[in-house]
């Protein structure tokens, strides 16, 4: 907290960082302490309310799990039993998709239950380090060091919030992560449906084929290359520049899965029991 009794100064270091020193008067520190006490009281009250609410949710969850366990029926996958319509069933078997999943942006494709596109951009990142010292007379001096580094991140870092934004600008992220699921996937006679498949975790690497390069170049601004199965938007993989993008793919291949859901015809749907716990 600063006021008219506070002062600040800054200095640059030889590396990509700088320090800012702020002195806060004794009076400002007292006001800050009072504000801290008030906020602490409000947080204490809020945490008590949240704890009470969370305990209620925990009880609800336990009841719903017990309720669900008693309602779930194990069924085979060879046929769909009309008698189980709208009931909660448990099935286990090999999930299979026939048509390939194709990323419309870059053309990467594979036959799978799910295809995830992971996007990372090379960006500036700001880090802060603070040291505080008390002075004679009750004032306090805080030295803040702001340092900047270049990192790969799958989230856009807002450089407008940097202390030195104009010197470390990050461009907008041109492409984002995406996910595709198989519309034709089956487990025996059942169809798991998109809501079920979207919850699967994609771990198997899918490599971009070098034959896609020309088609990608026709759609993408600037230099692009395919390096070791990865799409790279930039001039040099070994010396990335701010704004360079790398794109990887992961898939959930055909194979065994286990599903609990509500039977609607041949489709399995995620449901929400009476007490609000999603299955």
142-186 residue pLDDT tens: 888 999 999 999 999 999 999 899 999 999 999 999 999 999 999
The Cβ of residue 256 has, within 10 Å, a number of other Cβ atoms equal to 9
Q: What is the pLDDT of residue 79?
A: 93
Q: Is residue 274 part of a domain?
A: no
Q: Is residue 152 part of a domain?
A: yes
Residues with Cβ < 8 Å from 178, sequence gap 6 or more? 103, 105, 116, 117
What would the pLDDT profile of 34-77 be if each residue is shown by its tens digit? 676 778 777 888 777 777 777 666 655 455 544 555 578 999 99
Sign of the torsion formed by the C-alpha atoms of 27, 32, 35 and 36: negative
Q: What is the pLDDT of residue 12?
A: 45
Q: Model's pTM, two decimal places? A: 0.73
Total structural domains within the chain: 1
Pairwise CA distance, residues 65 & 44, whole Å:
31
Pairwise CA distance, residues 148 & 144, whole Å:
13
Residue 2: pLDDT band with limits 50, 70, 90: very low
Q: What is the pLDDT of residue 142?
A: 81
Q: Is residue 1 part of a domain?
A: no
Q: What is the pLDDT of residue 130?
A: 82
Q: Please name which of 77, 97, 87, 63 lies closest in space to residue 200, comparing C-alpha atoms.
A: 97
Q: What is the pLDDT of residue 209?
A: 95
pLDDT: which is higher, 268 or 152: 152
Q: Are 180 and 101 in contact (CB under 8 A)?
A: yes
Residue 94: domain span: 7-269
pLDDT: which is higher, 31 or 219: 219
Q: Is residue 160 part of a domain?
A: yes
Pairwise CA distance, residues 60 & 74, whole Å:
24
What would the pLDDT profile of 83-124 be if each residue is shown by its tens digit? 999 889 999 999 999 999 999 999 999 999 999 999 999 999
Q: Is residue 278 part of a domain?
A: no
Q: What is the pLDDT of residue 278?
A: 38
Q: Is the pLDDT assigned to residue 279 strictly greater than 50?
A: no
Q: Is residue 158 part of a domain?
A: yes
* Average pLDDT of every residue of the chain: 83
Q: Is residue 22 part of a domain?
A: yes
Q: What is the pLDDT of residue 56?
A: 62
Q: What is the pLDDT of residue 235?
A: 96
Q: What is the pLDDT of residue 270?
A: 73
pLDDT: which is higher, 86 or 232: 232
Q: Is residue 277 part of a domain?
A: no
Q: What is the pLDDT of residue 277?
A: 34
Cα distances (angstroms) measured from residue 34 to each of 8, 13, 28, 88: 23, 36, 10, 55
Sign of the torsion formed by the C-alpha atoms of 48, 50, 53 and 54: negative
């Amino acid at each position: 907290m600063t006021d008219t009794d506070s002062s600040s100064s800054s200095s640059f270091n030889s590396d990509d960082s700088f320090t800012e020193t702020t002195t806060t008067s004794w009076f400002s520190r007292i006001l800050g302490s009072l504000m801290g006490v008030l906020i602490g009281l409000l947080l204490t009250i809020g945490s008590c309310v949240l704890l009470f609410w969370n305990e209620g949710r925990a009880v609800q969850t336990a009841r719903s799990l017990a309720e669900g366990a008693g309602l779930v029926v194990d069924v085979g996958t060879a046929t769909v039993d009309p008698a189980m319509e709208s009931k909660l069933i448990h099935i286990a078997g090999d999930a299979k998709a026939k048509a390939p999943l194709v990323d419309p942006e870059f053309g990467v494709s594979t036959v799978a239950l799910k295809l995830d596109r992971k996007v990372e951009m090379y960006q500036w990142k700001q880090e802060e380090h603070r040291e505080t010292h008390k002075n004679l007379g009750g004032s306090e001096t805080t030295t803040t060091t702001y340092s900047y580094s270049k990192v790969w991140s799958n989230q856009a870092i807002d450089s407008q919030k940097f202390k030195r934004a104009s010197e470390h600008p990050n461009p907008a992220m041109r492409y984002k992560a995406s996910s595709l699921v198989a519309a034709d996937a089956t487990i025996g006679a059942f169809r798991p449906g998109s809501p079920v498949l979207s919850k699967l975790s994609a771990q198997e690497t899918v490599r971009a084929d070098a034959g896609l390069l020309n088609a990608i170049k026709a759609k993408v601004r600037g230099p692009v290359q395919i390096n070791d199965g990865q799409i790279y938007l930039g001039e040099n993989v070994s010396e990335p520049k701010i704004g360079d993008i790398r794109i990887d793919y992961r898939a959930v291949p055909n194979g065994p899965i286990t599903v609990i859901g509500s039977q609607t015809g041949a489709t399995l749907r995620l449901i929400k029991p009476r007490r609000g716990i999603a299955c």
